[in-house]
């Protein structure tokens, strides 16, 4: 009986040898799909880190290889009172990221929002002098960046200090110090001293707009000329379905890369809802309210029960176009970070109008992948 089967087995072996090598299955996660291109990150909150939001935590572990602390390391949370520091949630953020081998980004050390008012005044409630204001900044950075030195890989040192016209934003920091260049030089010098092995970034929105882009370029060049260390520029990706154009985004990527620093796409989400007039660049701590009139309300919040198929298709195409650009620029883009893990967690549900139903991310409110997710994976498969 054995001899009877030998020709068949021989033919089968010859046939198998003629087949092409077995192809590996296509990647099913973002971090796998772009592992040779750039890190893929996400902003996380304490509910995810602690496991209270277990489904989102699992999604983050499966899909991403970098995390940014969304709010837990901002001054109002980590340094609420003079001399009082609370590192508990920051330490949990670090432990979670380290347990899963992630690249950790601290966010942020110098911002005009989510900073306690006491940081800007003396004991009598008067605005700080320039020297007193810099002393507050030094103390804050020394303690916070120093505490996490060697445990986070990067810091957004300064966040959104450039205004839309390219000048320095008139924040309490700037008003008290009186000299934007001095303020920024000292911030980066303090950070480099406190965390010498940590990458130091500048992070901002509307970076694709010419005047603001020019202001950021001037800032980076000023820091470099002064000897201060700045390792990268984060381009916040709070974009829409049509604007900014791919060409505008590409111009900014190329411009920042030419400075000799890393480029990151940070805070990525695509707003699919109508934008009310005069809200571009509106401060992140301000909100409009939905109108009481049902018709007016529907205009601003048109899809409370889910995003229709035609809009899903537009969102998918927008993400595919963006990731095709990012992959084309992989030699200079170090990381792409989404601002929140799924639609239900997105800050865009409450900005610029509170209480809307937005759909800006790759995963829906049930943490299920959307057509946009498949479109992004498709970019990786095609390249």
CA 28 to chain centre: 22
Tell me 364's DSSP state. -
Active site residue 72: no
CB–CB of 112/171 below 8 Å?
A: yes
CB–CB of 155/196 below 8 Å?
A: no
How far is the C-alpha of 193 from the C-alpha of 191, rounded, in Å? 5
- Residue 214 exposed, middle or buried by CB count within 10 Å (0-12, 13-18, 19+): middle
CA dist 103 to 57, 108, 151, 244, 370, Å? 16, 16, 10, 28, 25
- The bridge status of strand 262-271 relative to strand 66-69 is unpaired
CA 88 to chain centre: 22
* Sequence-ordered alpha helix ranges (H) in the chain: 2-18, 30-33, 46-50, 54-63, 75-78, 88-99, 130-147, 172-177, 180-194, 210-226, 246-257, 294-300, 309-328, 371-381
- The bridge status of strand 39-44 relative to strand 66-69 is parallel
**Of 62, 267, 289, 366, catalytic:** 267
How far is the C-alpha of 160 from the C-alpha of 282, rounded, in Å? 12
Residue 239, token pair as written in the block: 């974009």
How far is the C-alpha of 217 from the C-alpha of 169, rounded, in Å? 15
Q: Which helix or strand (DSSP H or E) is residue 260 part of?
A: none
How far is the C-alpha of 65 from the C-alpha of 207, rounded, in Å? 25
How far is the C-alpha of 66 from the C-alpha of 48, rounded, in Å? 14
User: Would you please indicate which residues are annotated as catalytic (active-site) residues?
Assistant: 267
């Amino acid at each position: 009986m054995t001899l009877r089967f030998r020709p068949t087995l021989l033919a089968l072996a010859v046939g198998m040898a003629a087949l092409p090598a077995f192809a590996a299955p296509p990647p099913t996660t973002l971090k796998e799909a772009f592992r040779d291109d750039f890190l893929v990150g996400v902003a996380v909150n304490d509910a995810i880190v602690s496991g209270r939001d277990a489904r989102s935590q699992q999604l983050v572990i499966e899909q991403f290889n970098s995390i940014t602390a969304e709010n837990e390391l901002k001054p109002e949370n980590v340094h609420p009172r003079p001399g009082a520091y609370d590192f508990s949630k920051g330490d949990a953020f670090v432990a979670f990221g380290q347990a899963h081998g992630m690249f950790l980004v601290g966010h942020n050390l110098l911002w005009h929002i989510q900073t306690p008012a006491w940081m800007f005044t003396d004991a009598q409630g008067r605005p700080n002098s320039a020297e007193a204001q810099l002393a507050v900044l030094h103390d804050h950075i020394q303690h916070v960046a120093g505490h996490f030195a060697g445990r986070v890989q990067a810091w957004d040192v300064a966040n959104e200090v450039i205004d839309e016209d390219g000048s320095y934003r008139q924040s309490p920091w700037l008003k008290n110090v009186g000299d934007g260049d001095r303020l920024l030089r000292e911030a980066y010098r303090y950070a480099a001293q406190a965390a010498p092995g940590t990458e130091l970034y500048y992070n901002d929105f509307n970076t694709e707009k010419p005047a603001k882009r020019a202001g950021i370029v001037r800032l980076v060049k000023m820091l470099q000329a002064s000897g201060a260390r700045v390792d990268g520029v984060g381009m916040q990706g709070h974009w829409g379905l049509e604007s900014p154009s791919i060409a505008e985004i590409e111009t900014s990527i190329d411009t920042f890369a030419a400075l000799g620093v890393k480029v990151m796409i940070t805070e990525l989400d695509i707003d699919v809802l109508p934008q009310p007039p005069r809200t571009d660049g509106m401060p992140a701590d301000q909100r409009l309210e939905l109108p009481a009139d049902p018709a007016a309300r529907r205009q601003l919040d048109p899809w409370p029960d889910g995003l229709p198929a035609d809009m899903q298709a537009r969102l998918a195409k927008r993400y595919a176009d963006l990731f095709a650009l990012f992959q084309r620029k992989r030699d200079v883009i170090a990381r792409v970070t989404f601002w929140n893990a799924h639609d239900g967690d997105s800050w865009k549900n409450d900005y610029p109008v509170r209480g809307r139903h937005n759909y800006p991310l790759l995963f829906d409110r049930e943490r299920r992948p959307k057509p946009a997710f498949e479109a992004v994976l498709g970019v990786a498969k095609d390249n």
